[in-house]
């Protein structure tokens, strides 16, 4: 029943043409040989599942940094944000979330604020699970400034299978925490750069849910309580 429910959620617009293509291919496969047609049915169902765009219940307290992607926290380290954003070379805490081909790939704004900079950089398509993917892979980065002047960064990174990053974030526009802003297909990673000195409230190996999981808090004492609640 859970699998059926997952297939009935809204579909991201980027998936429409892929689902139609898979469905047409499935009909052709049925004409060629029925067993191949059933394989096409399975692949079409997976395509629908991949492009699902479910609603999420985003925590509303100001100052919370929320996961921008579904997946597993595969790295937490200190690193300078992408140079194309012009934010300097000071290392910041970086939380990396790896998305496999079964995760929902719709990405969400990690914290409410105004997008002050967007930048795209072409690159390689290394396994997104590798640390060097943050520097060498194709990526799209946004810088978000909160009302109290703090700056956070979200970076969509292409992976081994991913061949398209879609970012709808617009420079100068304000967004709410958890608001949808893009998608990556198929299998990839999203890095979140926190303010220098902030402590992540997640750990490596933890599963993150886009728009719901708290990654960090600008108020560390409140953040610890929030982590315990979740």
The set of residues, in sequence order, having a beta carbon less than 8 Å from that of 128 and lying 6+ positions away, is 98, 99, 137, 157, 158, 159, 160, 162, 187, 188, 189
Burial class (CB in 10 A: 0-12, 13-18, 19+), 179: middle
- Is there a catalytic annotation at residue 167? no
Burial class (CB in 10 A: 0-12, 13-18, 19+), 167: buried
Q: What distance lies between CA 202 and its chain's CA centroid?
A: 16
Length of the chain equals 230
User: Residue 222's closest CA among 65, 93, 56?
Assistant: 65
Query: Which of 6, 134, 188, 220 does the annotation list as catalytic?
Result: 188
- Phi/psi for 88 (5° steps) reads 90, 180
| Residues with a known catalytic role | 188
């Amino acid at each position: 029943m859970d699998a059926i429910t997952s297939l009935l959620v809204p579909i991201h617009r980027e998936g429409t043409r892929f689902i139609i293509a898979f469905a047409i291919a499935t009909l052709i496969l049925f004409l060629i040989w029925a067993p191949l047609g059933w394989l096409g049915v399975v692949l079409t169902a997976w395509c629908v599942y991949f492009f699902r765009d479910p609603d999420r219940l985003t925590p509303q307290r100001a100052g919370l940094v929320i996961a921008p992607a579904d997946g597993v926290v595969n790295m937490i380290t200190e690193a300078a944000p992408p140079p194309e954003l012009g934010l300097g070379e000071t290392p910041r805490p970086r939380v990396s979330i790896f998305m496999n081909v079964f995760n929902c790939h719709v990405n969400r704004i990690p914290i409410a604020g105004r997008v002050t900079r967007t930048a795209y950089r072409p690159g390689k398509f290394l396994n997104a699970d590798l640390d060097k993917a943050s520097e060498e892979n194709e990526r799209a980065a946004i810088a978000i400034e909160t009302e109290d002047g703090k700056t956070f960064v979200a970076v969509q990174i292409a992976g081994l299978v991913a061949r398209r990053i879609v970012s709808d974030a617009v420079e100068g526009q304000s967004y709410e925490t958890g608001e949808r802003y893009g998608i990556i297909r198929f299998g990839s990673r999203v890095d979140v750069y926190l303010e220098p000195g902030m402590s992540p409230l997640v750990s490596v190996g933890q599963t993150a849910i886009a728009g719901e999981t708290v990654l960090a808090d600008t108020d560390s004492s409140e953040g610890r309580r929030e982590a315990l609640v979740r």
